C-alpha cells in the first residue's frame, strides 16, 4: 500500500525557490533510495535512460545539463517528475 506525499516547494539558502526537478532529486537523495529512480534524458535525437545516482554522480554524465531531463520514474513504473508538469506526487512504500 503506497502513501502519496506532495513535493513541497522550499526556498534555497539564497532565497530563490527550488524548482520541482531540483526538489525531486533532493528528495530522492536525502529521503529515499536514489538507485530506485531512473532518469530519462535527451541526447541529440534519442531519449536515453540512467539511474539517478549514476546521472548525478557519474563522470560520464557531468556535462549533461538538468534541462535535458525529460522525466524521472521510481521503481520503473511510478512517474514522479515529467517535463512541463508543475507538480507530481512522490510515492513512498512501506518497507
pLDDT for res 63:
72
Q: Which of 37-41, 64-68, 90-94 has the highest mean pLDDT?
A: 37-41
Domain that holds residue 70: 2-93
Count of domains for the chain: 1
pLDDT, one tens digit per residue, over 6-53 is 444 444 444 555 678 888 888 998 999 988 999 999 988 899 998 888
Q: What's the pTM value of the predicted model, to 2 decimals?
A: 0.67
The pairs formed by 59-66 with CB atoms below 8 angstroms and a separation of 24 or more are 66/21, 66/22
Residue 53: C-alpha distances to residues 1, 10, 19, 29, 42 (Å): 26, 22, 19, 8, 17
What are 7's three cell numbers? 513535493
Amino acid at each position: 500500500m503506497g502513501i502519496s506525499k506532495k513535493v513541497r516547494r522550499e526556498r534555497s539558502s539564497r532565497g530563490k525557490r527550488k524548482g520541482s526537478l531540483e526538489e525531486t532529486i533532493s528528495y530522492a537523495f536525502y529521503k529515499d533510495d536514489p538507485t530506485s529512480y531512473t532518469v530519462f534524458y535527451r541526447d541529440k535525437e534519442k531519449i536515453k535512460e540512467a539511474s539517478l545516482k549514476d546521472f548525478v554522480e557519474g563522470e560520464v554524465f557531468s556535462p549533461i545539463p538538468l534541462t535535458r531531463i525529460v522525466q524521472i520514474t521510481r521503481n520503473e513504473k511510478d512517474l514522479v517528475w515529467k517535463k512541463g508538469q508543475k507538480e507530481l506526487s512522490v510515492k513512498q512504500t512501506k518497507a
